[in-house]
Amino acid sequence: MNKHIVVLLAVLMLIGSVGMVSAFPGDEADENCQTLVDQAVEQINQGLEVEQPDCVLNPGLSAMEMRAAQAEIAYAPVPNVAPVPFDASIVYERTFKRLNGNVMIYDAPNGNIIAEVQAGYNYVSIVNRVEGWVQIRAGQWVQAEYVTEADVSEFSGVEIYAPLERPFAWMLAPAKPSLYPGGPEHEAYERVPRYQLLNIYAVQVVDGWEWYMIGDDQWVQQIRVAKVKPVPRPAEVAETDKWLAVDLFEQTIVAYEGDNMVFASLISSGLPQWSTNEGLFQIYQRWLYGPMTGASGQPDFYYIENIPDIMYFDNDIALHAAYWHDRFGYRQSHGCVNLSLMDANWVYEWTRSDEDAWVYVHSSDSYRSDLPSWAVRPR
């Protein structure tokens, strides 16, 4: 084969290998790239000098799609939603603490032992403090060395006032965007932080994974974000009803009034061994504050008191605030649907006028077995 053809084909193979997973701003030349390549090879066979075609093979998005996406980015650089205003009185109304290890409870500082809390996932609220001791309720004290701060999250979801024109998502696993779908992180870009709101302007699939265009030449893999996906209203839910759609795959919650989205946020549902049940339910009991305990005598024993904004919908499974972790967007619980303090308060207040609001639990997709560990449950 003519050495000029070999060189050209090698270059074109490189272009094609990138183009198979990339999306470049193109023009009509990109749409006809294969024709231009065939013409170049034919001209080389005729002994003519030929310049490398200035186009991209298999560019992912077509030139027209890319131009449309770029216009969308310029028109709507951020999602058309309104973050729920932060309210410190909701998040820090109480001082929550974790009890570490087997903890003895005394009737007073340096007093008599009256009870023991076995090691586990144990959280309490603090009533009072004296040197070396903390009071957890009337007549109950523990040594301060066994108490640490709870990981209270200030995260909150968004209110939605108009129909969505494009999908949006929250970044879960911080990363620098890639220049093209399937590509490595681009070092020149800033790292997108956790909980950052993102518009999704285009989607491409590489090796079975969706890649989302979040900006001009900026792509992130689907497992780094939680995408809000609209779902049809279940037949049992009336047009005037309030209902909540919990997506176990994306780990999101969306509040609807009839067919209209009004709120969306992240959740933490049950871990695989305690999966949250799918189905259509109704809130049947509500508590402004309450305790939860379970798995007595087991390594995963937990006792958590003063949990705010509890809404039971499936036997002992509830929507409720979680002040003890900041891992929203990942499965985390023993079956309940965890919300941030701000979000649980929003949902609790929103459902006051419809206290038996519907809860539709579903999965928009299935978890893959080849998820990296950081995408399952980061520590």
What string of DSSP letters covers 146-168?
Answer: GEEE--------EE--S--SS-E
**Whether residue 247 is found in the same domain as residue 366:** yes
CA 327 centroid distance within chain: 9
**Whether residue 357 is found in the same domain as residue 249:** yes
Domain boundary residue, one of 74, 106, 121: 74
Q: Which of 269, 259, 177, 160 is nearest to 215 (CA)?
A: 177
**Whether residue 143 is found in the same domain as residue 178:** no
| CATH code for the domain of 130 | 2.30.30.40
235 found inside a domain = no
**Whether residue 261 is found in the same domain as residue 329:** yes
- pLDDT single digits (tens) 43-76: 888 888 877 676 655 445 766 677 778 888 888 8
Q: Which domain holds residue 41?
A: 3-74
**Whether residue 52 is found in the same domain as residue 17:** yes
pLDDT of residue 5: 44
**Whether residue 22 is found in the same domain as residue 125:** no
Query: Which residues does the chain have with pLDDT short of 70?
Result: 1-32, 52, 54-60, 62-64, 295-300, 377-379
- CB proximity list for 142: less than 8 A, separation 6 or greater: 99, 103, 104, 105, 106, 133, 134, 136
pTM: 0.80
pLDDT of residue 72: 84
**Whether residue 350 is found in the same domain as residue 271:** yes
- pLDDT single digits (tens) 197-251: 999 999 999 888 999 999 999 999 999 999 999 999 999 999 999 999 999 999 9
pLDDT of residue 8: 45
Residue 100 in tokens: 């570490």
Q: What SS3 state is found at 313?
A: strand
**Whether residue 290 is found in the same domain as residue 357:** yes
Total domain count, the chain: 4
358 found inside a domain = yes
Q: Which residue type sits at 370?
A: D
**Whether residue 173 is found in the same domain as residue 222:** yes
| CATH code for the domain of 337 | 2.40.440.10
**Whether residue 251 is found in the same domain as residue 314:** yes
Residue 213 · residue 221 · CB < 8 Å = no
Give CA–CA dist 233/129, Å, rounded.
50
Beta bridge partners of 40: none
The Cα angle at residue 154 between residues 345 and 133, in degrees rounded to 5: 95
pLDDT of residue 174: 96
Give CA–CA dist 106/319, Å, rounded.
33
Burial class (CB in 10 A: 0-12, 13-18, 19+), 120: buried
Give CA–CA dist 315/336, Å, rounded.
10
175 found inside a domain = yes
Handedness of CA 197, 158, 358, 319 (dihedral sign): positive
pLDDT of residue 56: 53
